[in-house]
Structure 1
């Protein structure tokens, strides 16, 4: 049909790979944009009115960072002790991360991790290579964790200067 106007010419400009010829049928397949590209609760504007940068901004996919696997949150006291709760699927325990006042050598931990006056781990002060931020690297071991150690990092919660998150750091 020579006089027929292509109804999909706007979508072809935005999603050229969606209208590529099929290797089986040599006929251009029609497929609309993915539904996930539109912000939640909004209505897509008529593509005829989208031009230039506004079209690219509207259909740009949202990039989400994966959620951090926080296994607990603590707050810091004025004496440098962190107090809070360690929470996993099977464990809920009040913990205290206290400075190691008996540290004699640099290889000894900077912090001791206690739960009900039982030592369950240790922590070392570290500095991130890329951001230069300070954090505490934790190593935890208890019968409840099984035969392996639990590794985690203690760092500030973004946007909250008083809370610190215990972020699980899988060993493998």
Structure 2
């Protein structure tokens, strides 16, 4: 086994125990100071890095929570719309009159078969046509307003009663188009 340099100096008589002990204490103090300074320097930099990572994680978690809440809210609104439509829809079991309407979203003419009274009510704006899962439902106008609060894309057709009234300046105001006109 090799002996330390201090032990070798002691054996040769070049140094005494006091000097060796003094050197060991001095070396230990220097090491301790160096470790303290290095740790403080590293801690300052690492503390900043840790804090930045923590802030980034908090921001990411907050964003994910907002997205989850938004998806849950959308899902809830869709469920509410479905429930409202299914509980308040008017059944069209024996519809024999074809009612054509313009879809607000894809600008296509679509049609459903309804009874004569429902056709009149649709034309006057008392009833509306709602959609859910690619099916059409006839609902009352008040219900359509509730549905539109939750989802504007669920109401396809709602006649405006004021739009049927001709303007005073209209030269064709005397020529009224009947509500039951089939096209």
TM > 0.5 between the two? no
TM-score, normalisation: structure 1: 0.31
TM-score, normalisation: structure 2: 0.29
Q: Which has the higher helix share?
A: 2
Larger relative CO (CA 8 A, sep 6+): 1 or 2? 2
